[in-house]
């Protein structure tokens, strides 16, 4: 018995977004290593090796990770349940019944606004189980929130 | 303020006036360093004309605690429990009464002397509760023992219980004359109510205390405090007479004797401390079921504690069998309660249902609580060869790395016994892995998800399927390659999520599908083995 993937992909613009978001971390590391070059003179071979390794890892990460993520990040909302899939090296699928949904939030960071993207977070009464959909197109996210709000308001109980 | 037609007293009530005796004493104790500082400062500045600084400090502290009593009020309306505090910055904390999940009544020795008890009303909101809250909920510090018990009854049994007559003023006897187990005495059931005892502390259970970690932690804490104190007082330990003699003794005797003596000393200290801790926390332990549908736990030697958990909030139990306790056939039991996050406090906190006790007792109590013996007795489904490989890989890999590191160290001049010690970790790791695999398993039984894992801290969790509010199916890169996954049942109770670790994916999906029928149905892959049937009648020749 296997689960299929959720039906919908996120916005293709998320690929660029994830790439851009990952750049500063690598730049910081490269800056640190450049500083090492400036400050000291010895261990040249070691420093060159470290720098090369960093550049290679950064390139691989920046090329592979966003596309991999794009293939993994998926979502689906039915009348009964919310189903999400996220991650790349470590992947996680989360499913919760609509009747257990407590809040639906949408959130846009500054970088996401530039790319016209939005996150949707669906929380339940469990601290272990918020469902997050990253990198949705803004209009899709707004529509999804409206839909979820409407569907969840129909179900009763305190969702615990 | 009163709603017409109800007999409830909904006016604002104060905490017990006897707090006027408890609070200042406690606050003075807390501010002793500052007060001493004030007195010293007052004496030493100039010709001592600032002598009044000390007394004024004392008066201020006392006045502040009196003010706190005078400005703190609470009331109970049919909808809400409200707590109002503060003089300049008034703060009202309100919580809906139907959200009250637990009521904890604790009494420190000082409180007990005065016949008082602290009432901690747990509402299960996440994050920090405001104001008088203690993490989540409201803290009333303090009411008289009688008031506290009446309040608890009112909050927990409000749907069926008799209305709470607000005038609980008449306190039980004189201050100081309250009997030892006043908290439970005040809980004497009224006509038509039943209080069934499920478990009571057997003093012989104290023998399990040394097999818990509490002794080790306690010893470490005491050592830490002592060290800190010596450091603060600028005392070098070797200057103290006995310590000096001890160190001299160590230097005269051979090292193996020192090690043996040291180990024995540590063992004795840990045993004594753990037994002391067990007695302090669990003395007088009693677990009972109230006919109104709640469980009551009372315990404690000096500080008494009475916890009430509504049974409809109880979603299951955790049977904890750490390796040492397992070796002496013992276990502890705690509840999985909605809105009561299992905080890992040393004595089990409010979710404790049974202190370390014989395994048979723990199982029997779990059976009575769950009203079903199956979940604690049932043999578990093992997770198969891939999970076993993963257990061994994860245990042996660090051990092998250690051996390699030790080899490198010896090569660069470290003593040989280092390598021997490193090699010895391999069989230990293998035994650990084997035990971890033996412990790993899951089952569905009596409408509950049963999951067990761990070796050093083995735990069997029984979670009602009704309490499951979603699934997280997680796969790391290596788990995907091994065809395994970790299925976490999320819940509003206890630890918030209960994991079935390293279970084959198809088994995980099938488990999720059986535990919560219907939820996964929409998302299932069409069954592969039924391909033949899909071919239609034409192909069947």
Whether residues A78 and B522 touch (CB distance < 8 A) is answered with yes
* Residue B12 Cα, gap to closest chain A Cα (Å): 29
Say yes or no to pLDDT of B166 above 60: no
Residue showing tokens 């503060």: B86
pLDDT attached to residue B108: 86
With contact defined as beta carbons under 8 Å apart, do B453 and B439 qualify? yes
The mean-pLDDT minimum among A39-48, B359-368, B374-383, B453-462 falls in A39-48
Average pLDDT over residues B211-215: 79
pLDDT digits (tens, 9 = 90+) for B296-347: 999 989 888 888 888 888 999 999 999 999 999 999 999 998 866 655 555 6
**pLDDT mean across residues, chain B:** 80
Residue B158 sits at the vertex; the CA angle it makes with B155 and B161, to the nearest 5 degrees, is 120
Q: Which residues from A are below 8 Å from B464, CB to CB?
A: none
CA–CA distance, B84 with A17 (Å, rounded to integer): 48
The complex scores an ipTM of 0.91
pLDDT attached to residue B69: 84
* Residue B175 Cα, gap to closest chain A Cα (Å): 42
- A79: which residues sit within 8 A by CB, 6+ positions away? A98, A151
Whether residues B470 and A90 touch (CB distance < 8 A) is answered with no
Average pLDDT over residues B404-418: 87
* Residue B386 Cα, gap to closest chain A Cα (Å): 17
Whether residues A94 and B505 touch (CB distance < 8 A) is answered with no
* Residue A152 Cα, gap to closest chain B Cα (Å): 14
pLDDT digits (tens, 9 = 90+) for B417-428: 888 888 999 999
CA–CA distance, A97 with B518 (Å, rounded to integer): 10
Whether residues A128 and B496 touch (CB distance < 8 A) is answered with yes
With contact defined as beta carbons under 8 Å apart, do B460 and B359 qualify? no
Say yes or no to pLDDT of B247 above 50: yes
Q: What distances in angstroms separate CA B425 from CA A109, B194, B421, one per listed residue?
A: 49, 55, 7
Whether residues A126 and B497 touch (CB distance < 8 A) is answered with yes
Say yes or no to pLDDT of B131 above 60: no
Q: How many CB pairs under 8 A join A and B?
A: 109
Q: Which residues from A are below 8 Å from B509, CB to CB?
A: 1-3
Average pLDDT over residues B232-242: 67
Find the residue in B nearest to A5 (Cα). B523
Tell me whether residue B96 is exposed, middle or buried, using C-beta atoms within 10 angstroms of its C-beta: 0 to 12, 13 to 18, 19 or more: exposed
User: Given A80, A81, A94, which is nearest B472 (Cβ)?
Assistant: A94
pLDDT digits (tens, 9 = 90+) for B495-505: 889 999 999 99
pLDDT attached to residue B348: 64
Whether residues B490 and A160 touch (CB distance < 8 A) is answered with no
Residue A67 sits at the vertex; the CA angle it makes with A124 and B394, to the nearest 5 degrees, is 65
| pLDDT band at B171; cut points 50, 70, 90 | very low
pLDDT attached to residue B251: 74
Residues in chain A whose beta carbon is closer than 8 A to a beta carbon of chain B? 1-4, 6, 76, 78, 80-81, 83, 89-97, 100, 124-129, 131, 159-160
* Residue A75 Cα, gap to closest chain B Cα (Å): 11
Find the residue in B nearest to A101 (Cα). B469
The two structure tokens encoding residue A145: 């929130």
Q: Which residues from A are below 8 Å from B473, CB to CB?
A: 3, 92-95
| pLDDT band at B34; cut points 50, 70, 90 | confident
The two structure tokens encoding residue B414: 């470290």
pLDDT digits (tens, 9 = 90+) for A87-126: 999 999 999 999 888 888 888 889 999 999 999 999 988 8
pLDDT attached to residue B158: 60
CA–CA distance, B465 with B373 (Å, rounded to integer): 16
Whether residues B490 and A128 touch (CB distance < 8 A) is answered with yes
Q: Across-strand partners of A120?
A: A106, A133
pLDDT attached to residue A154: 76
């Amino acid at each position: 018995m296997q689960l299929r993937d959720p039906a919908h992909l996120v916005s293709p613009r998320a690929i660029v977004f994830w790439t851009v978001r990952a750049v500063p971390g690598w730049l910081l590391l490269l800056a640190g290593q450049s500083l090492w070059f400036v400050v000291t003179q010895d261990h040249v071979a070691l420093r060159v090796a470290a720098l090369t390794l960093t550049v290679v890892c950064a390139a691989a990460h920046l090329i592979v990770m966003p596309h991999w993520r794009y293939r993994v990040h998926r979502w689906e909302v039915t009348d009964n349940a919310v189903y999400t899939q996220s991650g790349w090296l470590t992947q996680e699928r989360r499913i919760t019944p609509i009747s257990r949904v407590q809040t639906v939030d949408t959130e846009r960071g500054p970088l996401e606004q530039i790319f016209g993207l939005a996150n949707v977070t669906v929380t339940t009464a469990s601290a272990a189980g918020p469902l997050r959909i990253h990198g949705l197109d803004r209009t899709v996210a707004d529509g999804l929130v409206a839909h979820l709000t409407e569907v969840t308001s129909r179900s009763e109980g305190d969702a615990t | 303020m009163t709603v017409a037609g109800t007999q409830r007293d909904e006016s604002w009530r104060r905490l017990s006036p006897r707090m006027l005796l408890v609070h200042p004493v406690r606050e003075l104790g807390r501010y002793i360093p500052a007060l001493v500082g004030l007195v010293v400062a007052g004496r030493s500045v100039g010709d001592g004309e600032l002598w009044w600084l000390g007394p004024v400090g004392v008066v201020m502290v006392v006045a502040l605690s009196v003010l706190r009593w005078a400005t703190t009020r609470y009331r109970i309306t049919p909808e809400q429990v409200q707590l109002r505090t503060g003089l300049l910055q008034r703060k009202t904390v309100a919580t809906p009464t139907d959200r009250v999940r637990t009521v904890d009544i604790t009494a420190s020795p000082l409180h007990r002397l005065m016949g008082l008890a602290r009432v901690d009303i747990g509402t299960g909101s996440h994050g920090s509760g405001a104001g008088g809250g203690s993490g989540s909920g409201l803290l009333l510090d303090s009411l008289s023992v009688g008031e506290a018990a009446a309040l608890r009854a009112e909050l927990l049994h409000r749907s069926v219980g008799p209305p709470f007559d607000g005038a609980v003023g008449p306190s039980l006897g004189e201050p100081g004359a309250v009997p030892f187990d006043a908290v439970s005495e005040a809980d004497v059931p009224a006509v038509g109510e039943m209080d069934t005892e499920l478990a009571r502390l057997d003093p012989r259970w104290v023998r399990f205390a040394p097999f818990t970690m509490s002794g080790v932690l306690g010893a470490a804490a005491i050592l830490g405090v002592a060290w800190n104190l010596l450091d603060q007082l600028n005392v070098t330990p070797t200057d103290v007479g006995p310590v000096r003699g001890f160190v001299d003794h160590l230097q005269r005797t051979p090292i193996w004797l020192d090690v043996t003596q040291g180990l024995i000393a540590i063992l004795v200290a840990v045993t004594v401390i753990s037994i002391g801790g067990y007695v302090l926390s669990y003395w007088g332990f009693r677990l009972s079921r109230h006919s109104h549908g709640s469980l009551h736990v009372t315990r404690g030697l000096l500080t008494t504690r009475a916890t009430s958990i509504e049974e409809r909030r109880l979603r299951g139990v955790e049977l904890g069998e750490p390796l040492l306790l397992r070796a002496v056939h013992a276990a502890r039991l705690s509840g999985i309660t909605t809105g009561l996050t299992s905080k890992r406090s040393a004595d089990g906190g409010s979710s404790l249902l049974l202190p370390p006790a014989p395994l048979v007792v723990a199982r029997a109590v779990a059976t009575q609580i769950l009203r079903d013996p199956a979940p604690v007795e049932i043999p578990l489904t093992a997770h198969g060869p891939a999970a076993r490989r993963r257990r061994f890989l994860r245990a042996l890999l660090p051990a092998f790395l250690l051996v390699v590191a030790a080899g490198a160290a010896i090569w660069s001049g470290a003593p040989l016994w280092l390598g021997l010690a490193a090699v010895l970790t391999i069989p230990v790791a293998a035994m650990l892995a084997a035990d971890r695999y033996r412990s790993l398993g899951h089952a569905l039984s009596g409408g509950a998800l049963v999951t067990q894992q761990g070796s050093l801290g083995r735990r069997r969790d029984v979670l009602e399927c009704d309490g499951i509010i979603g699934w997280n199916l997680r796969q790391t890169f290596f788990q995907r390659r091994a065809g395994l996954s970790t299925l976490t049942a999320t819940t509003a109770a206890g630890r918030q999520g209960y994991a079935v670790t390293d279970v084959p994916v198809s088994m995980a999906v099938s488990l999720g599908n059986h535990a919560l029928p219907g939820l996964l149905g929409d998302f299932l892959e069409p069954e592969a083995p039924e391909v033949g049937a899909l071919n239609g009648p034409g192909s069947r020749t």
